[in-house]
Amino acid sequence: MSDVSANGRGRFTRRRAAVMADVARLAGVSHQTVSRVLNDPDQVRQETRVRVQAAMEMLDYRPNSVARALVTGQTRVLGVVSFDTTQYGPASTLFAVERAAHEAGYHVSIASARRPDPRATLDAVERFRVQGVDGILVIAPQAEATLSVLSLPADVAVVAVEAGPEDGVPVVTVDHAAGAVAATRHLLELGHATAWHIAGPANWAEARARVAGWREALAEAGAIEPPVLEGDWSARSGYELGRRLLAAPGATAVFVANDQMALGLLRVMHEAGRAVPDELSVVGFDDQPEASFFNPPLTTIRQDFMEMGRRGLELLLEEIEHGGRTSRRETVAPELVVRASTGPAARG
């Protein structure tokens, strides 16, 4: 139904938006019945509900979100605080949370904080409280952001996604340590004496968890632990650290903490004329969409971001419904995806 019409003088005027009384009149019911169809449809007979919904469609009726919030006590809006959506992981987590929220009938308001510190987090949360959001998800991969979640007011329904504190708020995260164990074991089972590690920044919780998993797998196999090479998630840092790795005697395998740094490593190996995987086996982490198109296609650890978003939303909706904050922690299992960048260790 168009919202403009021509008057007698050939000018166009905007038609008045339909209100609840218009829907009630067309459907032949009271405005209280229309309200129940919107806010508690299971309490309305199907025949009546269908008639009211048909009237809404005919009139192109859009419920007033403010009025609806006054009736239900909910805005059907969730806030999401994020800190670094330039990285594949946080950006994918944000997309997954948005998709899960929309499928559950919620709108999403996003605040991208410049700094992962308590002050920035509190400022973002205060903006959301003014908007009247029903709950807040915090994508908190850095240590500062993780700790800042603990400073949030107790009356705010909140869930940390991707990383979070050990106690105090619900957390949903991929099991990064288990992914690192799987990556390192894969290399050791191919006959490599040990596996080097190009790590992410130490202030990222997931980077620390991947280092811990790598160390666990080496210790379990009785393998020597090489020094950690710390990058910054970028392909450039993978390239630069790859040049250092070329000078390491006996390095035949490396687990890289994300696919972007693995891409930089593959580039420097190509420039040096070193064959992958014949001379160096490489495993990444993330399974970003381009990983299967690297040269060679990259063996990596796949994160299920959609599942993480779905579980984070479920925890938040439980918190909204029941009130009170829990310390539930849910982990999503990663998956090893084997491609052509890993192979058996060369004899001798």
pLDDT tens digits, residue range 218-267? 999 999 999 999 999 999 999 999 999 999 988 999 999 999 999 999 99
Could you tell me the pLDDT band of residue 300, with boundaries at 50, 70 and 90? Answer: very high
Closest listed residue to residue 265, CA positions, set 182, 179, 198, 181: 198
Question: Quick one: which of 37, 105, 32 has its CA closest to 75?
Answer: 105
Q: Do 125 and 82 touch, CB atoms closer than 8 A?
A: no
- Structure tokens, 81: 């605080």
Q: Which two tokens stand for residue 138?
A: 């915090």
Which CATH fold would you assign to the domain 77-174+305-332? Rossmann fold (3.40.50)
Q: At which residue do the structure tokens 């450039």 appear?
A: 236
Measured between alpha carbons, how far is residue 288 from residues 136, 142, 299 in Å? Answer: 27, 20, 11
Residue 15 pLDDT: 58
* Average confidence score pLDDT of the chain: 87
- Strand 196-199 with 171-174, pairing: unpaired
Give 199's contacts (C-beta < 8 A, 6+ positions apart): 207, 210, 211, 228, 229, 230, 231, 257
Q: Which of 13-22, 128-137, 165-174, 185-194 has the highest mean pLDDT?
A: 185-194
Predicted confidence (pLDDT) per residue in 20-57, tens digit = 788 889 999 987 788 788 777 778 888 998 998 898 88
Contacts of 210 (CB under 8 A, 6+ apart): 176, 177, 179, 180, 197, 199, 200, 257, 285
Q: According to the model, what pLDDT value does residue 69 have?
A: 46
Second CATH level (architecture) for the domain 4-72 = Orthogonal Bundle (1.10)
Over residues 300-313, mean pLDDT: 94
In this prediction, residue 1 carries a pLDDT of 44
Specify the range with the lowest mean pLDDT, choosing from 14-18, 45-49, 143-147.
Answer: 14-18
The mean pLDDT value for 331-337 works out to 97
Comparing C-alpha atoms, which of 189, 190, 197 is closest to residue 220? 189
Residue 146 has pLDDT above 50, yes or no: yes
Q: Check for a shared fold between 77-174+305-332 and 176-303.
A: yes
Instruction: Give yes or no for residue 86 having a pLDDT over 80.
Output: no
Q: Which amino acid is at 64?
A: N
Q: What is the pTM of this model?
A: 0.78
Mean pLDDT of 90-105: 89
Q: How confident is the model at residue 12 (pLDDT cuts 50, 70, 90)?
A: very low
Domain locations along the chain = 4-72, 77-174+305-332, 176-303
Given a cut of 70, whether residue 10 has pLDDT beyond it is: no
Topology (CATH) of 176-303? Rossmann fold (3.40.50)
